[in-house]
C-alpha cells in the first residue's frame, strides 16, 4: 500500500487543522492539501505547502501593492504575454513543496533538475520498506530502434512473463539479502544474536533501483513549469511522466490562469528555429519544400511536420 494506516491518520489529522492567515490561499489546492495522489503501484505525490497564486505572478510583473481593481481577463492577458515571451522572473515569485514517493531509478532521473530544494529519505539512518516497482505488462517495452533512450512496442507472451519474473525475483532476493546483512528486527534488536549486522549505509547498496524512496521537493513556479514541460511530454519516460501528470493537476488547481497559458504556449505550442520558420513561410506561399532543401536535419523536419499535421 502507498500509505500505512498511521500515515493516513497523520494526514487526516493535518487536513482537519485550519490556521487563520492573511496570506492569499487557493481553495482548489487547499481541497487536496496533504492528500496523497497515487502514482504507479506504491508511489504518490502530495502537496504539503505553497506560497502565492496567479495574482502573485501579476503583482510581480506590475510591481504593484495588491490585486487592485483590474479584471481577471486583464490578469490572464498579462500572464499569457509573460508565457508567450518567456518572461520568467514573475513566475519565480510562487513556490510549492511536494512530498513524493517514487522508485529510485525515477528519482535519479528526476534529480537532474537541479533547480529545486530536495531532502531525501536516508537509508543510512533508516531501513527501506520492502516495496518495489513492477511495470504493468503493457509498459514492458523493447528497446526503441528510433530513440536510443526510449522504448518501443510491448513485450508479449512468454518473454513478457519471463521479464516480470526476473524483476520480481531479483527484487525479492536482494531485499532478503538486505535484511540478512542488517540482521535487525522491527524492535531494533539483532535477529540473530550470534552475529553483528552490517551498517545500514553499506547494506543498502545491494538493493535494486526499482525500490521506492521518498523526498520533499520544493521549487518555484517557473522551474516547476520547466520540469513539467519536459516530463509531462508524451516522449518522456512513462514512469516519470505519470508523476508529472499528477503534478499538472495540482498546477491546474493552484494557478489556473498560469496553467491555461502553459498548456497553450508551452505544452500545446511549437518553438521554431529560424530555418523552421522560413520553411513555414515558404509552405504558406504555396511552395513545395522537401527536407533535403530545407536546411533542417531529418529529425527536426519530422518533428516539425508532425506538429503541423503534415506527412512530408
* CATH 3.30.1360.170 for the 1-133+210-269 domain, yes or no: yes
Report the pLDDT value the prediction gives residue 1, as an integer from 0 to 100.
Answer: 52
Nearest to 217 by CA among 83, 106, 88, 91: 106
Give domain limits for the chain: 1-133+210-269, 134-208, 274-308
* pLDDT tens figures, 137-153: 889 888 767 666 677 78
> What pTM does this model have?
0.90
* pLDDT tens figures, 35-62: 999 999 999 999 999 999 999 999 999 8
Distance of CA 86 to the CA centre of its chain: 21
Catalytic residue among 46, 231, 253, 266: 231
Is 231 annotated in the active site? yes
Write the CA distances from 57 to 65, 256, 263, integer angstroms: 12, 12, 17
CA distance 153 to 145: 10
Amino acid at each position: 500500500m502507498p500509505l500505512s494506516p498511521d500515515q493516513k491518520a497523520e494526514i487526516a489529522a493535518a487536513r482537519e487543522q485550519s490556521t487563520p492567515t492573511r496570506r492569499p490561499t487557493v481553495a482548489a489546492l487547499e481541497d487536496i492539501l496533504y492528500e496523497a495522489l497515487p502514482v504507479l503501484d506504491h508511489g504518490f505525490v502530495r502537496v504539503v505547502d505553497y506560497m502565492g497564486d496567479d495574482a502573485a505572478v501579476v503583482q510581480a510583473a506590475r510591481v504593484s501593492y495588491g490585486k487592485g481593481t483590474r479584471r481577471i481577463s486583464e490578469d490572464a492577458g498579462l500572464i499569457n504575454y509573460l508565457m508567450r515571451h518567456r518572461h520568467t522572473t514573475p513566475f519565480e515569485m510562487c513556490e510549492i513543496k511536494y512530498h513524493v514517493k517514487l522508485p529510485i531509478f525515477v528519482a535519479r532521473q528526476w534529480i537532474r533538475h537541479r533547480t529545486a530544494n530536495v531532502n531525501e529519505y536516508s537509508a543510512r539512518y533508516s531501513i527501506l520498506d520492502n516495496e518495489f516497482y513492477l511495470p504493468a505488462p503493457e509498459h514492458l517495452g523493447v528497446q526503441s530502434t528510433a530513440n536510443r533512450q526510449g522504448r518501443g512496442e510491448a513485450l508479449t507472451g512468454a518473454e513478457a512473463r519471463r521479464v516480470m519474473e526476473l524483476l520480481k525475483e531479483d527484487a525479492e532476493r536482494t531485499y532478503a539479502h538486505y535484511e540478512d546483512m542488517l540482521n535487525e528486527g522491527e524492535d531494533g534488536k539483532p535477529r540473530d544474536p550470534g552475529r553483528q549486522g552490517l551498517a545500514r549505509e553499506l547494506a543498502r547498496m545491494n538493493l535494486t533501483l526499482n525500490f521506492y524512496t521518498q523526498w520533499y521537493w520544493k521549487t518555484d513556479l517557473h522551474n516547476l513549469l520547466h520540469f513539467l514541460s519536459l516530463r509531462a511530454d508524451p516522449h518522456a519516460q512513462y514512469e516519470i511522466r505519470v508523476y508529472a501528470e499528477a503534478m499538472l493537476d495540482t498546477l491546474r488547481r493552484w494557478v489556473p490562469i498560469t496553467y491555461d497559458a502553459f498548456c497553450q504556449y508551452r505544452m500545446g505550442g511549437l518553438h521554431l528555429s529560424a530555418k523552421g520558420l522560413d520553411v513555414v513561410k515558404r509552405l504558406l506561399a504555396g511552395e513545395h519544400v522537401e527536407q533535403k532543401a530545407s536546411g533542417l536535419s531529418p529529425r527536426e523536419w519530422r518533428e516539425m511536420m508532425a506538429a503541423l499535421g503534415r506527412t512530408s
